[in-house]
Structure 1
Amino acid sequence: MSFTEALQSLRLAQKSSRGVSLYSRWLNRPLGRVFAAGAATLGISPNVVTLLSALATAAGLVLLVLAPVSLVTGIGVAALLVIGFALDSADGQVARLTGASSPAGEWLDHVVDAGKMVAVHAGVLIALWRHDAEPGWLAVALAYQFVSVAFFAALTLFPLLRRGEATAPAAAPSTVRAVALLPADYGILALAFVLWGMPSAFLAVYTALFAATTLIAAALSVKWFRQLSASPR
């Protein structure tokens, strides 16, 4: 299969956009689709793509922690995190395209995602500590890490616990919802590191994303809990 053929096949086999933010819909998935087409053409397995995603993310966080605070560092960190996120989208697309989906691959993908949720905020925490940030900012990073991990667990477990249930036909994707979900999208957090060279601006945006993510996580968690409570046992 050529790259062009793989790309065309992937365009016709995308998951629903319902409940997905505009960033993931219009930026992350299309970029992941390009990576997926390249991986499929080169014979790279979905699990290897998952590991490449982890390596790109790890490289970005090492840069964040060890490099000087500067515009160049911030752009480099943002680029690596964005690439890692796109590769995270690509692994599933490769699996669907090549018929290589497996429980082991899904497990690996979720483990790497969970590690990423912990590592990105740990990286911010360590970098802030190394550059003598006020203790309050360290507390923000810790709290953001807690919310991100809890939200990821809720997001992952909800559909798993509802497997086998009859569900209503999926509604058309809502643009308003897609915009509202932007602050909780990992891709937006990744792009925020472009401001790393301007600490005051970065910390303001980082804190705003934390506050918005907390509100979104709380609202969705209440909704999911009510739906699960009403589910047949």
Structure 2
Amino acid sequence: MSVFTQALKDLESSQKPQRGVSLYSRYVNRPLGRFLAAACHTVGMSPNQVTAASAIVTLLGLALLVTGPPSVARSAGVVLLLVLGFALDSADGQVARLTKSGSPAGEWLDHVVDAGKHVSVHACVLVALFLYVDTSPWWYLAPLLFQVVATVIFAGGLLVDLLKRAQPTVASPEPRPPSIVRAIALLPADYGILAVSFLLFAWPPVYLPVYTLLLVANIGIMILLLRKWFHELRG
């Protein structure tokens, strides 16, 4: 059995729980990340190197977005690079579990890259709109607000996890089977869906309403999650 095949087999039995993730992450990003993790392990990449690759690929996708006017080819390239960067973001943790080489430094690096990604993608939407799209300046408010919402959701989820680790007396909800309804409801908040939505950026009059709908859905999800996290920590 080849190193790649063995790694893929080992990873299939060491996946994170499916509860609390959207259908995209469950059926697209994690399986793609598993394949990439096996490939990265085969060529000897460390988890931190995979994290760095994820950051580089994502930056290339965002650079492509802001360096020219919208077109079908550009939109497709942006989607390809952002989806690949997101899958590599899943792969770094899988490589760490496969090689038992996870570390606080690696986890920190992964979170720093994620934080930068969540802010940068909406900043680049704003720049691309300003430079290349003839539209009302009111649309610029959407990426500015999306930055705030994405940051609050990311920081809120990260902090609630850290506080639960630091205070074992904080009770976690009883584990329940993964819910298809919840997995569908979380789709708008999945970075992968945001990445795929750039396919429509070649047609700004179509993209902007879709992007705004994603923003509205994320605001709703943020409110529900903040309420849930607050009550969990308050006990």
TM-score by length of 2: 0.95
Q: Equivalents in 2 of 1:73, 1:91: separation in Å?
A: 27
Does 2:107 match 1:102? no
Does 2:178 match 1:178? no
Q: Equivalents in 1 of 2:80, 2:102: separation in Å?
A: 28
Which residue of structure 2 aligns with residue 214 of structure 1? 219
Which residue of structure 1 aligns with residue 69 of structure 2? 68
Q: Helix, strand or coil: the match of 2:63?
A: helix
Output one character per residue of 1:180-204: Cα deviation in whole Å (capped at 9) or x when no partner: 0001100000000001111111111
Counting only pairs closer than 5 Å after superposition, residues 149-168 of structure 1 correspond to structure 2 as 149-163=151-165, 164-165=168-169, 167=172
Q: CA deviation at 1:66?
A: 0.4
The one-letter amino acid of 1:137's match is: W
Q: Equivalents in 1 of 2:109, 2:49: separation in Å?
A: 10
Identity %: 55
The one-letter amino acid of 1:147's match is: V
The one-letter amino acid of 1:144's match is: F
Which residue of structure 1 aligns with residue 60 of structure 2? 59
Q: Helix, strand or coil: the match of 1:44?
A: coil
Which residue of structure 2 aligns with residue 50 of structure 1? 51
Contact 2:142–2:212 (CA under 8 A) maintained in structure 1? yes
The one-letter amino acid of 2:26's match is: R
Q: Helix, strand or coil: the match of 1:68?
A: coil
Which residue of structure 2 aligns with residue 148 of structure 1? 150
Q: Equivalents in 2 of 1:183, 1:5: separation in Å?
A: 35
Q: CA deviation at 1:133?
A: 3.2
Does 2:210 match 1:193? no
Q: Equivalents in 2 of 1:169, 1:218: separation in Å?
A: 22
The one-letter amino acid of 2:149's match is: V
The one-letter amino acid of 1:66's match is: T
Q: CA deviation at 1:67?
A: 2.2
| Structure 1 runs, 4 residues or longer, greater than 4 Å off | none
Contact 2:79–2:196 (CA under 8 A) maintained in structure 1? yes
Q: Helix, strand or coil: the match of 2:149?
A: helix
Counting only pairs closer than 5 Å after superposition, residues 54-133 of structure 1 correspond to structure 2 as 54-131=55-132, 132-133=134-135
Q: Equivalents in 2 of 1:146, 1:167: separation in Å?
A: 27
Q: For the aligned residues, what is the CA RMSD?
A: 1.1
Q: Equivalents in 2 of 1:169, 1:220: separation in Å?
A: 17
The one-letter amino acid of 2:140's match is: L
The one-letter amino acid of 1:120's match is: V
Q: Equivalents in 2 of 1:64, 1:213: separation in Å?
A: 22
Q: Equivalents in 1 of 2:230, 2:61: separation in Å?
A: 35
Contact 2:201–2:207 (CA under 8 A) maintained in structure 1? yes
Q: Helix, strand or coil: the match of 1:162?
A: helix
Q: Equivalents in 2 of 1:27, 1:202: separation in Å?
A: 22
Q: Helix, strand or coil: the match of 2:89?
A: helix
Q: CA deviation at 1:168?
A: 5.3
Output one character per residue of 1:58-101: Cα deviation in whole Å (capped at 9) or x when no partner: 00010000022111111110110000000000000000000110
Q: Helix, strand or coil: the match of 2:28?
A: helix
Contact 2:172–2:232 (CA under 8 A) maintained in structure 1? no
The one-letter amino acid of 1:148's match is: A
Q: Equivalents in 2 of 1:128, 1:48: separation in Å?
A: 33
